[in-house]
């Protein structure tokens, strides 16, 4: 990935991806359906806008979604907004408050947030058929570009069920300027949101990305050895930002409870430090202090050279994958673990229950004690663990891969353009007779 730095916004330069490469994973019928849905949208200009090009699930999805949109004939771009540290401090508070924290929103914070968006809006001088603005950071852009043509869509990736009324009241007028909004689950849609169209689209993982592509067991074990992790011992793995909502301290408590029965167990916690998350380093240090000098707790990040290939290896070699979140918009790492045929234990919150069928593909838990008990159950019964992982992989294949994400967006674009199924079929017939 490379970024071209410009005033205001940055264009993200992307790798080329070909839809046909996904056929061995999802089947030819799925590819044919996507090509059919895209035909009436040929040449449509699409822009995705968010706050960062790395260090989170949104960026990961866009690195695949935008190239696939291009491959099916859309003129798709991706830009990231710019801002000073003060802006990202405010948007981190906004993220936490919208997920349930009781935080202040001062006039100075409001001003910093709006001033950064004004600076970015000035440089958005192109016209697009569809503009998708991801999450709260750039939400005011539609208001600031109210005269622009095209359909504007706000994509919310976080769980708003317990949103601070103060912060949601501030954000809602900006969101209501959009033509449509996308949420991960119906439960996340606020009842007072007045908007033309609401779409429910779960996130997705790319099965061909370095994080999820097939990997030989010998290669995965070699990665573990590089980070002084013993591939012959049981390992618990949680991949997520160092963030209070991911409950890293609770994960350490689970590990310590498991270690009482399985003294050779190891814990790997791997996360990414993103520039739009100023609290990340602070919470990493807090987690490190809580871990103490235990040599079997491995806290790793991109600052240690951990990238997508390393995450792939950690998840594939995990005995159990954890995602013990206290709040979670979706949690792509759950789908990643399931795709690698690992049993996954996740917090019974947000979008995690969408991915884990409790007792079938993994377990949903609500406390350290419950999580510890479920880990012990799986470690005592490897056959059950394998069966859960295999069922989980098939669930992800059908519901949570990038091809499903592309299909959902194409359907939304068609709905907003008034393109019916009949029009899609007519375009297909005309193309056939050319």
Query: Residue 374 pLDDT > 70, yes or no?
Result: yes
The two beta strands, 180-183 and 197-200, are parallel
Assign domain 2-204+401-429 to its CATH architecture: 3-Layer(aba) Sandwich (3.40)
**Per-residue pLDDT tens over the stretch 346-356:** 999 999 999 99
Query: How would residue 107 be classed by pLDDT, with cut points 50, 70 and 90?
Result: very high
Angle between helices 165-175 and 85-98 (to 10 degrees): 110
Per-residue pLDDT, 259: 98
Ranges of CATH 3.40.50.2000 domains, the chain: 2-204+401-429, 217-399
Write out the two tokens for 41: 């949208």
pLDDT for the residue 433: 40
Query: Per-residue DSSP letters for 85-133?
Result: HHHHHHHHHHHHHHTT------HHHHHHHHHHHHHHHHT--S--SEEEE
- The rounded distance, in Å, linking the Cα atoms of 255 and 262 is 10
Helix axes 107-122, 85-98, angle to 10 degrees: 110
When the pLDDT of each residue in the chain is averaged and rounded to a whole number, the result is 93
Measured in residues, the chain has a length of 434
Q: How far apart are CA 30 and CA 32, in angstroms?
A: 5
Q: What is the pLDDT at residue 407?
A: 97
Q: Dump pLDDT digits (tens) for 80-101.
A: 999 999 999 999 999 999 989 9
What is the rounded CA–CA span in Å between residue 32 and residue 23?
A: 9
Are 203 and 354 in contact by the 8 Å Cβ rule? The answer is no
Share of the chain above pLDDT 90, in %: 85
pLDDT at residue 277 in the model: 62
Residue 317 pLDDT > 80: yes
pLDDT tens-digit map of 42-83: 999 999 999 999 877 899 899 999 999 999 999 999 999 999
Is the separation of the CB atoms in 42 and 418 below 8 Å?
no
| Global model pTM greater than 0.95 | no
User: What pLDDT, on the 0 to 100 scale, is given for residue 349?
Assistant: 94
Does an H or E element contain 421, and which? helix 421-432
Superfamily of domain 217-399, CATH level 4: Glycogen Phosphorylase B; (3.40.50.2000)
- Which whole number is the average pLDDT over 365-378? 98
As a whole number of angstroms, the distance between CA 340 and CA 407 comes to 23
Give phi and psi for 53, each to the nearest 5: -100, 0
């Amino acid at each position: 990935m490379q970024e071209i730095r410009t005033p205001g916004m940055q264009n993200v330069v992307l790798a080329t991806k070909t839809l046909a490469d996904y056929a061995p994973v999802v089947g030819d019928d799925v590819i044919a359906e996507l090509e059919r849905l895209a035909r009436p949208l040929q040449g449509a200009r699409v822009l995705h806008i968010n706050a960062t090009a790395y260090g989170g699930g949104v960026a990961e999805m866009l690195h695949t979604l935008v190239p696939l949109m291009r491959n099916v004939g859309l003129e798709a771009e991706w830009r990231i907004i710019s801002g000073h540290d003060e802006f990202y401090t405010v948007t981190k508070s906004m993220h936490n408050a919208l997920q349930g924290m009781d935080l202040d929103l001062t006039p100075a914070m409001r001003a910093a947030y709006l001033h950064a968006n004004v600076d970015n809006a000035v440089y958005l001088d192109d016209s697009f058929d569809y503009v998708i603005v991801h999450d709260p950071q750039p939400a005011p852009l539609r208001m600031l570009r109210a005269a622009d043509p095209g359909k504007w869509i706000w994509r919310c990736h976080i769980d708003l069920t317990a949103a601070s009324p103060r912060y949601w009241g501030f954000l809602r007028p900006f969101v209501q300027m959009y033509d449509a909004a996308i949420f991960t689950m119906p439960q996340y849609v606020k009842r007072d949101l007045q908007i033309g169209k609401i779409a429910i689209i779960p996130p997705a993982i790319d099965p061909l990305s370095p994080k999820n592509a097939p990997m030989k067991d010998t290669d995965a074990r070699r990665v573990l050895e590089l980070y002084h992790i013993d591939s012959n011992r049981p390992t618990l793995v949680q991949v997520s930002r160092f963030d209070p909502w991911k409950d890293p301290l609770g994960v350490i408590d689970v590990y310590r409870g498991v270690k009482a029965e399985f003294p050779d167990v190891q814990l790997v916690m791997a996360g990414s430090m993103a520039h739009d998350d100023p609290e990340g380093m602070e919470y990493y240090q807090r987690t490190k202090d809580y871990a103490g000098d235990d040599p079997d707790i491995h806290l790793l990040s991109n600052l240690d050279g951990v990238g997508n290939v390393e995450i792939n290896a950690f998840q594939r070699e995990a005995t159990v994958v954890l995602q013990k979140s206290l709040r979670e918009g979706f949690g792509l790492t759950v789908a990643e673990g399931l795709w690698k045929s690992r049993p996954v234990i996740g917090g019974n919150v947000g979008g995690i229950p969408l991915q884990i069928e409790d007792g079938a593909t993994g377990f949903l838990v609500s406390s350290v004690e419950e999580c510890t008990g479920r880990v012990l159950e799986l470690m005592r019964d490897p056959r059950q663990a394998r069966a859960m992982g295999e069922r989980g992989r098939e669930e992800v294949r059908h519901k949570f891969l990038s091809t499903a994400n592309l299909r959902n967006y194409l359907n939304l674009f068609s709905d907003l353009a008034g393109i019916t199924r009949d029009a899609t079929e007519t375009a297909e017939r005309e193309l056939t007779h050319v």
